[in-house]
Amino acid sequence: MRQKFDDWRGSRGWKEVLKIIVKKRSVPNQLLRLEAFIRRSSHTPDKVVADYTKRKLGYQGECSIDFYLSMLPPNQVSIMHDLRLHSERNGYFQLDTLLLTPQGLIILEIKNYQGTLYFDEYSHQVTRVLNEKEERIANPLLQVSRQRSHLHSHLISHGLPSLPIHTFVVFSSPLTILRSRSSQQTLSPKIIHAEAIPTQVESYVQKGKQKYLTLKQIQEIATLLNNNHQPDLSNNLTSFNLNKVIKKGVHCPQCNQIAMHREPRIQNWKCAHCNNISKVAHIFTLQDYALLFQPTITNLQAQDFLQISNENMIKYLMRKLKLKTTGQNKGRKYHIPIPFEAKNYD
């Protein structure tokens, strides 16, 4: 890899424009899994609801900055979302958004907090006041500093030279108030609201007197990181006996009720609760199965979970989906992708 990077140094004639979004944002598997559990559980514990609410707010905060990212110049900045990379020191580390520019890399750690946040630069303590209640929260500046260190080590371990890596903690809600703990302290310039992203990134690019990367090199690094990305496949619901608490059947994509039945004559699903008609409702139910249990399913297991007592119907549905299979006859397993893009089959 070192030799490959050294070869880039002679590629100053590269004329292509950067593709602005190299890796798109996707709904986290953990959030999809919690949604499936809440939808199908006979009883949802408060801690599961709290975990779901926290993760959903975090994801909504990440999505809300996309408007400001769209203002970045496509010929100067390339964007990667939701990176999960291996760290030699501590398992894996995650990056909400990474910007790649000729002047260096920029990590954006997105936070979706409500209330007033107080930063103490001496104790490194961060407190939040919301509804007249004060609580301590993890310091996002320390978090993004660790991410910077992990990313630097990751790039070095793959033969790349040391590159400038800048960091910002971005607060997505315009209602969040950011303050220093005392008047004698100043708020770190790394702490910004989402609306400041275009200005801060443009300033960083313009102030960069030295260009460390060509456009081709940026694309090579993006490809490397994309290939090294490891989705989080861990199951955060292993403490529950899912076989006992999960309701079976095809749920309605519109009202979420498990009330869909198959109408063979028109080959559609119809919801007994809201009368919604869908051609692909079974796809969302198969994704629930993959999220809650395992990413492979047999014909018999599909009959049980979709509540269809018809082996040939399951064969027909699976054949239409063109899923990868392993095994033969009754031992054949269908591999369910996550996420399952139903729009490709509608």
- CATH dotted code for 248-344: 1.10.10
Domain ranges (residues) in the chain = 2-228, 248-344
pLDDT of residue 89: 78
Is 176 within 8 Å of 113 (Cβ atoms)?
yes
Characterise 182 by phi-psi region: left (phi > 0), alpha (psi -120 to 50), beta (else): beta
pLDDT of residue 15: 39
pLDDT of residue 1: 40
pLDDT over 70 for what percent of the chain?
Answer: 92
pLDDT of residue 344: 55
pLDDT of residue 19: 56
What residues of the chain score a pLDDT lower than 70? 1-19, 266, 342-346
The answer, yes or no, to whether the previous bond of 264 is cis (omega within 30 of 0) is no
Global pTM reads: 0.85
pLDDT of residue 266: 67
User: Is beta strand 116-119 parallel, antiparallel or unpaired with respect to 126-130?
Assistant: antiparallel
Tally the C-alpha atoms within 13 A of residue 330's C-alpha that lie toward its C-beta: 1
What contacts 288, CB < 8 A, 6 or more positions away?
36, 39, 40, 251
Long-range contacts of 316-320 (CB under 8 A, 24+ apart): 317/282, 320/345
pLDDT of residue 16: 46
Radius of gyration, CA atoms only, the chain: 24
Is 119 within 8 Å of 177 (Cβ atoms)?
no
